Amino acid sequence: MPPDIEIIVGTYEEFLVGYQFAELDQDGETSSKFRLKQTFAEKSHAGSIKSMAVQGPWVATGGIDDRIFVYDMRIRKQCQILLSHAGTVNTLTFSPDLTHLISGSADGHMIATRVATWTTEADWCKPHAGKPVTHISCHPSSKLALSLGGDLVLNTWNLVKGRVAYRTNLKSKKTLGSAPDCLSWSTSGDHFTLSGPLLLEIWEIKNAQVVRRAKTPAKPVCVSWLNAKVCLAGLENGSIAWTSLEDDLNAAPKIIPAHDESRVKAMACLNETLVTACSSGEIKVWRCSLDKQKLTELASTNIDCRPTGLGLLDLSKFGNVRAQMKPIKVEDKAAPMAETPKVPTPRGYVTIEYEQDEQTKVEAEAKKTSKKKQPKGALPKPKDEDTSEDSNSDEEEDSDELSDSDSDASSDAGDRRRRPLKRKQPPAVPASSQRKGKQQRKK
């Protein structure tokens, strides 16, 4: 069975990528061969990833864009962005009890962030006399920490009180050069490492003295502890230096070829499984044999990027999500019967209106408004009748015809009011006939 780990790699190309072991099943039988399969690729930084830290389910990355991104691998999402620094984040480390994230930057600040709330717990402005903080390593007890800066002073921190407990000036250590590197605690917390141009030193915490000094054929670039006694260092020429505390003080380490003439840029160890990454983008997984001091290659891949940091996730602690690869089986199946095409159902209707329709709508609205204005309970007025006794029969017929026409008009107009008819006047009588009539009356 492959180890239950996930490899997290930070790159110069701003990518954070992950890889897991993928098994290949053949006809129900598990093959002994497996390879690395990419699980994710995230590009959040606006520049290259300078540092990273992996502890428990948390992954933190710091870049040259002055930001820190935090990921929760239980849900595989970015959960926090920290903007507490004003310079390149050179180093990151989680406390082993997962209570704090400690970061150091080129602005000279060293900041402790509480993991529960992601708020700044402490901010040391000038821990190294205003020089950049280059390395931070936290003790397995989470009570001590070591920091190294541009002033070539090694600070021992009391994290309980939040202050420096002891300072060691490394300027007098000529073997470490002008830029000491590879600051790392052992798994037991009794020793820590420092490296120079062609030297790896192991210091003891009790006496603050060097207990193991190993000369290397190339410059040490990264360090990883297998246990409390064995330390591995990745060299600039692509090999690995196996160093043990059980050997003599100045005994030469065992050199193991790992990568072909490409410097080992980063390495990490978990459960006797070692993962190394070289500057050409090649990642290799090794099984460590402590008795024989031997490394056996398990798998390798190329990420096509230049790695800057590497960390390992223990998937057994918060769920095994290893990718499984299954072969594709092709089965002969009868061709399906042709189905009758379905009639497409209309999804909507389109109406076209013309000017005539608009005119009819306006007239209908006018009628509705006229009906609303008429008071309720109003009775129509009776038709006009001719009451004069001196009217002729012709006039009565004309009035009847006019009344009929008006009644028709009123019936067509609905409930409109009918205008009153004008009474027809009798024809004019000549003056001579009127005189004759008066004379006859006098007689």
Predicted TM-score (pTM) of this structure:
0.70
Cα distance between residue 257 and residue 239, in whole Å: 4
Specify the 3-state DSSP secondary structure of 332: coil
Query: Can you give the pLDDT at residue 441?
Result: 65
In Å, how far from its chain's centre is CA 122? 28
Q: Domains for the chain: give ranges and CATH numbers.
A: 5-325 (2.130.10.10)
Give the H/E segment covering residue 267. strand 264-270
CB neighbours of residue 296 within 10 Å: 11
pLDDT in tens, the chain (443 residues): 678 899 999 999 999 999 998 865 554 444 456 789 999 999 999 999 999 999 999 999 999 999 999 999 999 999 999 999 999 999 999 999 999 999 999 999 999 999 999 999 999 999 999 999 999 999 999 999 999 999 999 999 999 999 999 999 999 888 898 899 999 999 999 999 999 999 999 999 988 899 999 999 999 999 999 999 999 999 999 999 999 999 999 999 999 999 988 999 999 999 889 999 999 999 999 999 998 999 999 999 999 999 999 999 998 887 555 444 444 343 444 444 545 555 555 555 555 555 555 566 667 777 766 655 555 454 444 444 444 444 444 544 444 444 444 444 444 444 445 555 555 555 555 555 566 555 666 54
* Tens digit of each residue's pLDDT (9 = 90 or more) over 19-50: 998 865 554 444 456 789 999 999 999 999 99
Query: Can you give the pLDDT at residue 228?
Result: 93
Give the H/E segment covering residue 393. helix 393-412
* Tens digit of each residue's pLDDT (9 = 90 or more) over 180-229: 999 999 999 999 999 999 999 999 998 889 999 999 999 999 999 999 99
Cα distance between residue 172 and residue 134, in whole Å: 19
Query: Can you give the pLDDT at residue 1?
Result: 67
